[in-house]
Amino acid sequence: MAEMLTTIKRTRVPLTELEQSAFCTTESLVSKPLVEEFKSGVRWQRLPIEYMRTTAPELDDRIRAAKGKLGKRLIILGHHYQRDEIIQHADFRGDSFKLSQLAAEQKDAEYIVFCGVHFMAETASVLAQPHQRVMLPNMAAGCSMSDMAQTGDVEECWDDLMDTLGPGSIVPVAYMNCTADLKALCGRNNGIICTSSIADNVMQWAYKQAPRVIFYPDQHLGRNTGLKMGIKLDEMVLWNPFKPLGGNTKEQLGHAKLILWKGHCSVHTRFNPKQIQEARAKYPDITIMVHPECPMEVVQAADKVGSTEQISKAISAAPKGSVWGVGTEISLVNRIAKENSDKTVFCLDPVVCPCSTMYRIHPAYLAWVLESLVKGEVVNEIVVTGDTRKNAKLALERMLQYG
């Protein structure tokens, strides 16, 4: 009798997830020479030694000088979660999709330097004009959520769903925070991309195409959006890529309206209802606003829920003297607090814990990329081409049309 072999997939915890607490501190965040920040123990891209020991003020001067020489040929994009020392040099700041759109609209710009993480630079490459070249200052700036949805795992999941449920039974919806490969999977399977601010609109469109949706890679945004739309918890299932059929039976998948990929944001899962309770006890008139990537219990305990842009706009429009407890990345919260000094604005998490991958865009890397461009050298270029670019762009265009 032949021996039956069963392949067991081992659970992989992304290094980006393990490294998330590397920069957590009880003190304020101040950029140090890169040689000092290398002691944090996370992965860094190596740089020439001259950049390793240079102080923040010296780097600022070098960045400004290089930027001046490049002129309109250069656009620097700064995501909301970047450190202030980077944001001060950005031509545009915002969320990843908005920044990619803005860069593509700058016809004179040959070089797009995206101070963010890898999937953001990929999106910029997908949307860029043919003459534009996209660079990521530090190739080690990834995203733990994106890393939780590996291309092979999601493709295997899709094949299993087709075998189990049949074609036309489900639509893939990908959150912006995933690789170009997974955006392309959506594009070629009649799926669509969403941002946190329009997830409900996108999901409404998806349910007009099929009775079910698979949402990846963030289970919390998917669950919170589903609940907002009236989908019940017992109509949702979680897909664990390390278990057969994601840990579900065929019957469970057939009953489900929403299949959630088992992924999350390392920053937003730090928030919990106890933090909200403590904030309300200290400030009875407080408004709690959190990002929809937070766990369901946090979202339900908050007064308002919104994307990074929505959080910023809500607080800016609020009356003087109002108090806001915010559940999102600390660099953005601190910046909002500085820009709204007539209000009390603070992060619900008492530990200063920035996104460890975003925080890897140190001024030394920006100086290196810009000074390389001045010399005529393009470093750390991110390029998405061929069918991947075509299909990813198709999914993004559906978002713009229906979202």
Is the pLDDT at 306 greater than 70, yes or no?
Answer: yes
Look at residue 238 and give its three-state secondary structure.
strand
119, 16 Cβ separation under 8 angstroms: no
pLDDT at 294 over 80: yes
Q: How far does Cα 50 stand from its chain's mean position?
A: 31
Percentage of the chain with pLDDT > 90? 79
21 pLDDT band, cuts 50/70/90, is low
Whether the CB-CB separation of 220 and 196 falls below 8 Å is answered with no
Question: How far apart are alpha carbons 350 and 104 in whole angstroms?
Answer: 38
Look at residue 7 in the predicted model and tell me its pLDDT.
44
pLDDT of 4 > 60? The answer is no
Apex 28 CA angle, 27 and 30, nearest 5: 125
Q: pLDDT at residue 43 above 60?
A: yes
Return the pLDDT at 95. 84
Rg of the chain taking only CA atoms, in angstroms: 22
Range of lowest pLDDT (26-30, 147-151, 293-297, 328-332)? 26-30
* Residue (of 190, 163, 147, 167) closest to 246 by Cα position: 163
With a cut of 90, say whether residue 190 has pLDDT above it. Answer: yes
Q: Taking the CB of residue 9, how many other CB atoms lie within 10 A of it?
A: 12
Torsion-angle region of residue 380: left (phi > 0), alpha (psi -120 to 50) or beta? left
C-alpha span between 32 and 17 (Å, rounded) = 23
Structural domains for the chain: 30-142+357-384 (3.40.50.10800), 146-266 (3.40.50), 268-347 (3.40.50.10800)
Helix (H, G, I), strand (E, B) or coil at 291: coil
Contact 102, 159 (CB under 8 A): no
What does the block give as tokens for 173?
């919806």
pLDDT at 8 over 70: no
Please determine, for residue 1, whether its predicted confidence score (pLDDT) is greater than 50.
no
Alpha-carbon gap, residue 136 to 114, rounded angstroms? 5
Cis ω before 292 (30° cut-off from 0): no
CA-CA-CA-CA torsion sign (385, 391, 392, 397): positive
* 352 pLDDT more than 70: no
Q: Of 297, 382, 309, which is closest to residue 121 (Cα–Cα)?
A: 382
Q: Report whether pLDDT(5) > 60.
A: no
Residues 196 and 223: beta-carbon distance below 8 Å: no
Strand-pair partners of 135: 113, 381
Q: Please tell me the predicted confidence (pLDDT) of residue 281.
A: 98
pLDDT computed for residue 240 by the predictor: 97
pLDDT of residue 29: 66
Least confident residue range of 24-28, 84-88, 330-334, 352-356 = 24-28
The reported pLDDT for the residue numbered 32 is 82
Identity of the residue numbered 231 = I
Residue type, 309: E
